Structure 1
Amino acid sequence: MHSMTLKPLLTLSLLALPASHLGAELVQGEPAAPRQPVLDSQELGDDAAVRTRADDATALTLTLYQGGVAQVGERREFGMQRGRAVIDWHDVPAAMQPQTLQVTGEGDVDVHEVRLRDRVLSRDALLDASVGEEVRLVHRDGESQRGRLLAVSGGTPVVELDDGIELLDQGNPWRIAPDALPEGLADAPVLQLDLSSDMPGRQWLDLGYLVDGLAWRLDYVMTIAPEADTMALHAWATLRNDTDVDFRDADVHLVAGASDAQRPRLETLATRTAGDAIGDASEAVADQQRFRLEGPITLEAGDRRQLRFLQVDSVPVEREYRVRSHVPLGSQGRAQRRPVAIHMAFENREPELGRPLPAGSVRVYQRDDTGSAVYAGDETLDPTPVGEQVELRPGTAFDLTAERRQTDYRRLDERTEEQAWRITLRNAGESERRIVVEETLPGEWTMLEESAEHRRPDAGQARWEVDVPAEDKVELEYRVEIRR
């Protein structure tokens, strides 16, 4: 936290108020074993507030979720009195959720009331707090007089003087100079705890809460080898701090999963378990996967920090070209052009992978014969546990096209019809390509005729695999009876 001293005469036009942040270097480590309390030299009256800042912290844990909310766990050590006490916990983010607060201590602690004082000192807050009050006005030449601040309109103070009303707009030579800091304003948010403790002296207190503005995401880079049967898969974790504080030397965990990230289960520092380094292992927590980053991490306010999450240089991959269509009921008069989609698939298994893969964006590159990587498209990878197949559709093939045309239609009765289709597959490339044609058929259907043999992967789909020579075309034809 930057320190700030208010001069007796403060000119609003010269205010430069720093954003609050955690400025102390924290020492990462597990909490020390409980010990006999040592009486602090500070004498506290019944109404005195104990102030603690980031300098008092001995441990800081951040658990980041992909949904834009995070869990903060912080241990601080300071002097307290026995019985009822008020703790002013400084250096907290304004976006914290005080209703999620959990407090534990070295002794038995009972929290009676929690108050987040988030009226932070700024030009606008200072003006708003002074409305209706007598204020000092200072001229650029040094002359001063007093008046009453009536209102603030669009950022312009309206002041009543002895000889009339003055608008202190940008061109006005007069400026307001408050005599003192209005009550209730602070240089940074303060979490005020009204609690009882059964142990006096210097001791630790754990605070756990949720905060908005801290999150992480994962970005994969998939690079296909020239022979198109292996790939390299790299991933970067991007940590984002959109709060108004710095988090220094934190033990950072990244949580991936499909559960409700707006209500993660809170965990205190005293009960947390040590995880393995990121990229090597993870652990299952509350039906999610948790990864721990190596070493203490500092996230300053406004930071976008990228860390290596995964690096695998050779994974078997399969490429497939697909044309998917739905066969409607009734007669269709026009030919339909259909895209030929590129499908990439690989197994999340050992020895190449075999670790949980969180959701993230995937950028796909294809290396040519010279080794240069050409951007081929992007896709979203769904959360994939160990042992499952990953399937991506990064884009469509430029040299492959498909056209569907209904060549015949007959209604056999009120519930039965017969349809005939021709699918023309063209390959403008320099090598033969295999194209998979998938037709989704309604109702109960029976294949009557076909130019190539189909497979039936499920009740509602017919599937053909067609080899199309380079710079040539192939026509797939079939006739089907459909009963509604």
Structure 2
Amino acid sequence: MKYILSIFIFLQFNNAIYAQTSITIYKDDRALIKQKILWELEQESNVISWDSLPSGLIDGSAFLNLTNARILTQRLNNNTFRFRENLKNKIGENIEIKLVNEREISGVLVEFDNSILSVQRRGSILSFNFDRVDYVSVYDEEIPKALKPTLTWSIAPKDDLEKIVNGNLIYLSKGFKWKTIYKLIINRMQNSADFVIEADIFNNSNMDFSEVNLKLIEGNLNTKVNSASFVGPYRQSRLSQNSFQQNQFGDYYIYNLNQKINLKSNESILARLYPPKNVSFKKTYLFENNEKNQREEPLIVEYTIPNIEENNLGIPLPEGNIQIYQYLNEQDIEFIGEDHLSQVTKGEEATITSGRAFDVIGKRSIINFDRQQKSEEASIMIEINNTLSNQINVRLVEEIRGDWVIRKASSNYQKKDATTIQFSISVPANRSKTVTYTYRKEL
């Protein structure tokens, strides 16, 4: 006889008759889920329950506030995975797995642990994360059905005649996260760009959420809960062009999407954090070396974007990856690089790189080196060759360790810190420029 061991069952409301959901997602694989719920009390019963809970429910985080009743006790039945003890005796036998939102797969059970279940099918071994599994079917009438996580409360209504109880259920769950994705789209003249800022939002849980109010928190919170990993395919969808409303929230920033959305299990969605911004930037070519380098190579292409109101920004920019594009003409656009953008506060500059330039080459040579018992002295020559048809700005960054002084520098330099100096120069079109200096340091 075939029995189904339900791991994650579809939404059930027990004696609940209404629920409205709000989700606040953090960047550390967790979310705060808030649900307004109405329960209809059964005759002569002072017990209410709720079983629409994701598998990532964090123990001890759930609490319920009732407006017209007093809570006496709260109980969590989290015996969902009780069936695993019985599966130990089924290794080597046929089972059937139903994946969330996918077809059933049959095969021979070969292995399972706390997170992965593996079956052999047609000579291949297939492994599935338990978060992807809806239920498992076996052929054994002795195996009991597993229970779904359920919160149950004993309550004392304020009015003995009250038949409807309403309250707010709040809990934390793993299996949710978001990240920032930037797109810098440079115009054909390379004097401005469209700056697109999006949030990629992930529901790694086993539950679908419909008509939810969504908020995102930017900032690093302390947590002692290990993040859960997800293995499996994603569906990705894009919301309308509506963007989030950003507000400061204590030491963090909160983004509120002013529309209700559907967020399905194992799905990610893209939404605009801000409307697109047209920004100005400074393009620079970067040549970085330490004191011992002798080499010749293409220079790094660097873009600096002031995060100020005068540049249509002046907003908190969360950490995230940035994709860089450029128009070849009015209609043709090409991808030219990708970088990681660290968190940028208002008033600071965002600096990113797109790769190395083909037509701008830097060569660094040590033309003299004198080492004594207690000191050393070296003369450095740096040559930048620009074969582009336009003038360029170049940053020469030199790292020198120890107690040093600079002598005989051919161009002005800036001491950035105890180990770094920087030359900022311009190189005309189809020309080269040379910078020389000597450093001396005590050993």
Cα distance change on mapping 1:340 and 1:126 into 2, 3 Å: closer
SS at match of 1:178: coil
What residue in structure 2 maps to residue 306 of structure 1? 270
Determine which of 320, 323, 332 is the counterpart of 1:372. 332
Give the share of equivalent positions with the same residue, in percent.
17
Which residue does 2:230 correspond to in 1? none
Match of 1:319 in 2: 283
Deviations 1:389-419 (CA, angstroms, capped at 9, x unpaired): 21212322222222222111113441x2211
- Alignment partner, residue 316 of structure 2: 356
Q: CA deviation at 1:260?
A: 3.2
Q: Does 1:481 align with 2:440?
A: yes
In the other structure, the counterpart of 2:178 is 216
Give the counterpart letter for 2:249 in structure 1: V
In structure 2, the residue matched to 1:230 is 192
Written as runs of structure 1 = structure 2, the 5 A alignment for 1:221-260 is 221-260=183-222
Which residue is equivalent to 1:154?
Answer: 92
Measure, in 2, the Cα distance between the counterparts of 1:23 and 1:82.
20
| Distance verdict in 2 for CA 1:339–1:196, change over 3 Å | farther
Q: Which stretches of structure 1, 4 residues or more, deviate above 4 A after TM superposition?
A: 15-19, 80-86, 167-171
1:223 Cα deviation after fit = 0.7
In 2, Cα distance between the equivalents of 1:98 and 1:84?
Answer: 27
Contact 2:283 2:393 in 1 (8 A): no
Q: Looking at CA atoms only, which structure, 1 or 2, has the larger radius of gyration?
A: 1
Counterpart code for 1:424: E
Residue 117 of structure 1 is matched in structure 2 by 79
CA distance 1:155–1:398, shift in 2 (3 Å): farther
- Contact between 1:341 and 1:397, CA under 8 Å: does it hold in 2? yes
- Please tell me whether the aligned partners of residues 117 and 192 of structure 1 are also in contact (alpha carbons under 8 angstroms): no
In the TM superposition, residue 112 of structure 1 has moved relative to its aligned partner by: 4.6
Query: How many residues get paired?
Result: 386
Q: Is the 8 A contact 1:68 1:215 kept in 2?
A: yes
Q: Which residue of 1 aligns with 2:146?
A: 185
Is structure 2 residue 26 aligned with structure 1 residue 11?
Answer: no
Please state how far the C-alpha of 1:63 moved relative to its aligned partner.
Answer: 0.5
1:205 CA displacement: 2.8
**Which letter maps to 2:57?**
M
Indicate the residue corresponding to 1:288 in structure 2: 252
Partner of 2:98: none
Alignment check: 8 A CA contact 1:318 1:344 kept: yes
Query: In the alignment, does 2:32 pair up with 1:71?
Result: yes
Q: Tell me which amino acid in the other structure corresponds to 1:420.
A: S
Tell me, yes or no, if the aligned pair for 1:127 and 1:152 is still in contact at 8 Å.
Answer: no
Counterpart mapping for 1:31-70 below 5 A: 51-53=14-16, 55-57=17-19, 59-70=20-31
Q: Deviations over 1:160-179 (max 9, x none)?
A: xxxxxxx99999xxx93638
Change (3 A) 1:445 1:254: same
For residues 121-168 of structure 1, the C-alpha deviation after alignment (integer angstroms, 9 at most, x for no partner) is xxxx49927x9xxxxxxxxxxxxxxxxxxx3223449xxxxxxxxx99
Counterpart residue number, 2:424: 465
Does the C-alpha gap of structure 1 residues 17 and 413 become closer, same or farther in structure 2, counting only changes over 3 Å?
Answer: closer
Q: 1:482 to 1:110 in 2, by over 3 A?
A: farther
Looking at structure 1, the residues matched to 251 and 56 of structure 2 have their Cα atoms a distance apart, in angstroms, of 27
Secondary structure class of the residue paired with 2:344: coil
Instruction: Tell whether the 8 Å contact from 2:339 to 2:353 is kept in structure 1 after alignment.
Output: yes
Tell me by how many angstroms 1:442 deviates: 2.2
Deviation at 1:426, TM superposition (A): 2.1
Structure number with higher strand proportion: 2
CA distance in 1, matches of 2:79, 2:151: 7
SS in 1 for 2:437: strand
- Render the CA deviation track for 1:51-105: whole Å, top value 9, x for unaligned: 345x431x21100112211111112111348999554312211121132112221
Please report how far the alpha carbon of residue 325 of structure 1 lies from its aligned counterpart in structure 2 after TM superposition.
Answer: 1.6
Paired residue type of 1:473: S
Helix, strand or coil: the match of 1:128?
A: helix
